A and B are shown apart, each in its own frame.
Chain A
Amino acid sequence: MAVEPMSPAPTLSSPHPAGPVARESAHDPAVLLDGVSKRFGEVTAVDGLDLEVTDGEFFSMLGPSGSGKTTTLRMIAGFETPTTGRIRLHGRDVSRVAPYDRDVNTVFQDYALFPHMSVGENVGYGLMVRKVPRDERRRRVADALSMVRLAGYERRRPAELSGGQRQRVALARAIVNRPRVLLLDEPLGALDLKLREEMQLFLKALQLDLGITFIYVTHDQQEALTMSDRIAVFNLGRVAQVGSPAEIYERPATPFVAGFVGTSNLLTDDAARLLVGREGTFTVRPEKIRLSDPDEMHTAGESSALGRIRDVVYLGSETRYIVALEAGGELVVTRQNLETSSMEALAARGRQVRLSWNREHVLALKAS
């Protein structure tokens, strides 16, 4: 697991003094979770979490539903109080601080726009309750709306907008307050695929533009891989692995991470002993495996295994072959449809094949 290189912190006084007790340095992490747990009655939603989010990074919390990622986000926002542990924002302990006293803003999954207010009033709400003068408020609302490409929408009602537009109003309403950390709770979940892909690029560009920390909760591994500087993979209230998208994908630490981020191609027991030569659990990514005729020889540095194609899934740009190994177990192999037609691909079902892969691409996994 790679931690961002942190230069030894000279305690500089910060441009954002947060009170006499809160010693704040330019190198304090944006968010620091220190042994944070959250229990709801008998249920432990978050279990002894340590996490550090660097200032200005796009940090994703990825995991299945019920893995504790949303509860963690809600504790950072202040909607839940940790049962044990501490939460620091830029060095300031906020474990028991109300949401309105924290320098973070949230984009909610259901957008949570105020139905009785216009778009302009929605976006200006944070400025209004903080008594920002009317002129400045109007200017900043217009700026925020043009940032999310909704310039001139001030007088519309939320009910008149499309899903994608409401989503951007929610975004404008959060960033208009210039928070140092923006929390996003599955904000693209309700949008269709096309719009979602557009918004992913837009959010990433916006984050670079604003230069603030984004903490992004999602259950969509593709989304996390596309946008993030770093990803924390959550499972059962704990973090299974933290790292860059490439690290998470290419060097998954546990079988859970290997399976959740991509396809879990696990080699265990006999298959591990025969094909890797060691006891343990190993994985090979489907796109790293070459598919060929059984009599074709593999080259030096490669491992190879015989098997039979059990099933073929045609996906348009690529085809996925599920191969039952003679050594036991199954491997999924994906292949770009360079010259193969769907007919040819589907006809491969039941055929005897040889799989080969570079030994460097075999990863040992810790039992999770």
Chain B
Amino acid sequence: MGRLGLRLATGSVLAFLYIPLVIIFLFAFNADRGQSWPIRSYTVRWFGDALANGDVRDALLLSVEAALGATAISLLLGSLAALAVHRFRFFGRETISFALVLPLALPGIVTGMALNATINTAGIGFGLVTIIVGHATFCIVVVYNNILARLRRTSSSIEEASLDLGATTWQTFRYVTLPVLRTAILAGALLAFALSFDEVIVTTFTAGTDETLPIWILNHLRQPNQRPIVNVVAVAVIVLSAVPVYLSQRLSASDAGGLSG
């Protein structure tokens, strides 16, 4: 009885989460230009139309560039911060840890406002660079947390063991530290990419007149004749965000058993 109840509850939650997404998916294949239910016939012609649309292509390119840039910055700063916080006891260590995690919890609109004011004051032009910086503020946390969790799960004596066995500091990093962290780094990078790719709020404050894919959707949502293409773009955003998250989960799961040794 309890088991059945649990299944029903799980099922309802999943349905609540995913039915709207499924509907978007179905509408993307709707041959009718209007959003009427039930769907009478299916087509893939909106995918062709979306690809042919220059604005959509530009937005896709910008989104990918921004996500790659934000991921690169997060990897560099997030992993260095994690190593430093894990390995050294220094003044302000807890504060740094807190300061890194905070942007994830801060409302995007506040981060966005603050960045917008700063960029205006500094007189930097809005565009790809400002989008990347804006996204990096919350992407760093994901990389940082992933690597820190792995470091805490790993015996700290393995690096000492490596030095003890004759490896130099550099060899130890190359043969022991990096391989042990590799999957955590990759998982963090994939999550950072996904976070950046579908971000809207901070982007509206940092993109200026440029459009990332999610911003393009927002701007065209209310134009009935663009509706089929908006659906197709939404499907693209869903897929491009879901795949990295899925891969990242797989990576973390496959290591859970093998790395505590």
Query: Would you give the shortest CB distance from A182 to chain B, in whole angstroms?
Result: 11
Query: Would you give the shortest CB distance from A167 to chain B, in whole angstroms?
Result: 13
Number of A-B residue pairs, CB cutoff 8 Å, is: 82
Query: Given known contacts A116-B180, A129-B171, is B260 in contact with A100 (CB within 8 Å)?
Result: no
Say yes or no: is A5 at the interface (Cβ < 8 Å to chain B). Answer: no
CB of A79 within 8 A of CB of B160, answer yes
CB of A112 within 8 A of CB of B160, answer yes
CB of B175 within 8 A of CB of A129, answer yes
B154 to chain A: which residues have CB within 8 Å? Answer: 115
Interface centre among B154, B157, B171, B179 (most CB of A within 10 A): B157
Say yes or no: is B165 at the interface (Cβ < 8 Å to chain A). Answer: yes
Say yes or no: is A106 at the interface (Cβ < 8 Å to chain B). Answer: yes
Say yes or no: is A173 at the interface (Cβ < 8 Å to chain B). Answer: yes
B interface footprint on A100-117 (CB within 8 Å = 1, 0 otherwise): 100011101110111110
CB of A112 within 8 A of CB of B180, answer no
Say yes or no: is B118 at the interface (Cβ < 8 Å to chain A). Answer: no
CB of A99 within 8 A of CB of B160, answer yes
B162 to chain A: which residues have CB within 8 Å? Answer: 114, 125, 129
Please pick, from A108, A112, A115, A126, the residue contacting B258 in the complex, using a CB distance under 8 A.
Answer: A115
CB of B161 within 8 A of CB of A112, answer yes
Query: Would you give the shortest CB distance from B167 to chain A, in whole angstroms?
Result: 4
Query: Would you give the shortest CB distance from A113 to chain B, in whole angstroms?
Result: 6
B161 to chain A: which residues have CB within 8 Å? Answer: 106, 108, 112-114, 173
Query: Would you give the shortest CB distance from B84 to chain A, in whole angstroms?
Result: 20
Say yes or no: is A157 at the interface (Cβ < 8 Å to chain B). Answer: yes
CB of A115 within 8 A of CB of B163, answer no
A263 and B260 CA atoms in complex are apart in Å by: 39
A264 and B184 CA atoms in complex are apart in Å by: 53
B167 to chain A: which residues have CB within 8 Å? Answer: 100, 125-126, 129
CB of A115 within 8 A of CB of B175, answer no
A106 to chain B: which residues have CB within 8 Å? Answer: 160-161, 164
Say yes or no: is A77 at the interface (Cβ < 8 Å to chain B). Answer: yes
Query: Would you give the shortest CB distance from A144 to chain B, in whole angstroms?
Result: 12
Query: Given known contacts A108-B160, A125-B175, is B165 in contact with A115 (CB within 8 Å)?
Result: no
Please pick, from A109, A116, A158, A177, the residue contacting B165 in the complex, using a CB distance under 8 A.
Answer: A177
Say yes or no: is B54 at the interface (Cβ < 8 Å to chain A). Answer: no
A99 to chain B: which residues have CB within 8 Å? Answer: 160, 163-164
A110 and B161 CA atoms in complex are apart in Å by: 11
Query: Would you give the shortest CB distance from B89 to chain A, in whole angstroms?
Result: 10
Say yes or no: is A98 at the interface (Cβ < 8 Å to chain B). Answer: yes
Query: Which B residue sits closest to A176, measured CB to CB?
Result: B165
Say yes or no: is B10 at the interface (Cβ < 8 Å to chain A). Answer: no
CB of B164 within 8 A of CB of A159, answer no
A105 to chain B: which residues have CB within 8 Å? Answer: 164-165
A108 and B261 CA atoms in complex are apart in Å by: 13
A65 and B134 CA atoms in complex are apart in Å by: 50
A-B contact pairs, 10 of them (CB 8 A): A99-B163, A99-B164, A104-B164, A114-B162, A114-B176, A125-B162, A126-B166, A129-B165, A158-B261, A159-B260
Write the residues of chain A forming the contact surface with B, with a CB cutoff of 8 angstroms: 77-79, 98-100, 104-106, 108-110, 112-116, 125-126, 128-130, 157-159, 166, 173-174, 177
Write the residues of chain B forming the contact surface with A, with a CB cutoff of 8 angstroms: 154-155, 157-158, 160-168, 171, 175-176, 179-180, 257-261
A-B pairs, 8 with minimum CB distance: A126-B165, A158-B261, A112-B157, A115-B261, A112-B161, A129-B167, A159-B261, A99-B163
